[in-house]
Amino acid sequence: MDGSAPPQFHPTPRSQVRRRPQRAAYDEATVFSILDAGLMAHVGYVIEGQPFVTPTAYWREGRTLYWHGSAASRMLDAVGDGAPVCVTVSFLDGLIVGRSGITHSVNYRSVMAYGTARVVADPTAKRAAMEAFIDRLYAGRNVKLRPTTDAELAAITLVAMKIEEASAKMKATAPAELPADEGWTAWSGVLPVETRIGPAIAEPREGPRTDDLSPYGPGVRLDEALTRACRSPRSARNA
């Protein structure tokens, strides 16, 4: 402990949580722990006043989020040249079942991250980022893969968004028990929800499963596997 405050995001009215602020957090550690447990984000952007929300795979490096897709994608056309975006990552952790309608709810973890998305056009930077994505998911895998060609790289549009503001919001509770619920005996409790890896489906003539896939054993929670993978040492090619 050196007495310095842990890194925080500083909310403006854009990211300040208004509803149930006791469930909110703005510190980097909490925000990053949620972002690093996920693979799919919902990216929100605006075209001529119309909102769009596109689900897409993402990854994080420091305070920057990345996602990619075909250059044909409407999302990337719209956000690539510096449009404001909101990137939301959420986990449903449980169904809360109460004794009155009002006490039914869900447990969850979520982050809303705000920034300006920009296309990464430089081929060297693009190649490094795409390899970092593979290694973030499957640490050490890049060196086992057939290298990406320049033409393949050119067909990918890569977007980077520096996180300007972010808020986390979480709930992990049992059902509320209101005074008016007394005497009502409907079953009450939490039905946990867990997202896990299933049994792998191998392609014919596959090589052996290597260490880069070790976080993803059958039955493992996906959020835990993703967190473990992104803490693992990366490929030499990418170091």
Binding to its own copies, residues 1-20 (CB under 8 A): 14, 18-20
In the bound state with its own copies, the residue whose beta carbon lies nearer, of 3 and 13, is 13
Closest CA to 43 of 153, 125, 159: 159
Number of residues that bind its own copies (CB under 8 A): 94
* 174 counts as binding its own copies under rule CB under 8 A: yes
* 229 counts as binding its own copies under rule CB under 8 A: no
* 114 counts as binding its own copies under rule CB under 8 A: yes
Residues 6+ apart with CB under 8 A from 218: 197, 198, 199, 200
* 102 counts as binding its own copies under rule CB under 8 A: yes
In the bound state with its own copies, the residue whose beta carbon lies nearer, of 7 and 192, is 192
- The neighbour count for residue 238, using CB atoms within 10 Å, is 19
Q: Least separation, in Å, of the C-beta of 90 and its own copies?
A: 4
In the bound state with its own copies, the residue whose beta carbon lies nearer, of 121 and 178, is 178
Closest CA to 113 of 84, 77, 79: 84
- The Cα 84–Cα 14 span in angstroms is 12
Site string for its own copies, 142-171 (x = CB under 8 A): x-xxxxxx--x---x---------------
The structure tokens 């009502």 sit at 184
Q: What is the dihedral of CA 98, 108, 30, 119, to 10 degrees?
A: -160
- 84, 128, 171, 228: which one binds its own copies (CB under 8 A): 84
User: If you compute the radius of gyration of the chain from its CA atoms, what whole number of angstroms results?
Assistant: 21
The first and second tokens of residue 178, run together, are: 């209101």
- The neighbour count for residue 25, using CB atoms within 10 Å, is 19
* 207 counts as binding its own copies under rule CB under 8 A: yes
* 88 counts as binding its own copies under rule CB under 8 A: yes
In the bound state with its own copies, the residue whose beta carbon lies nearer, of 68 and 160, is 68
Give the footprint of its own copies on residues 119-138 (CB under 8 A): 130-131, 134, 137-138
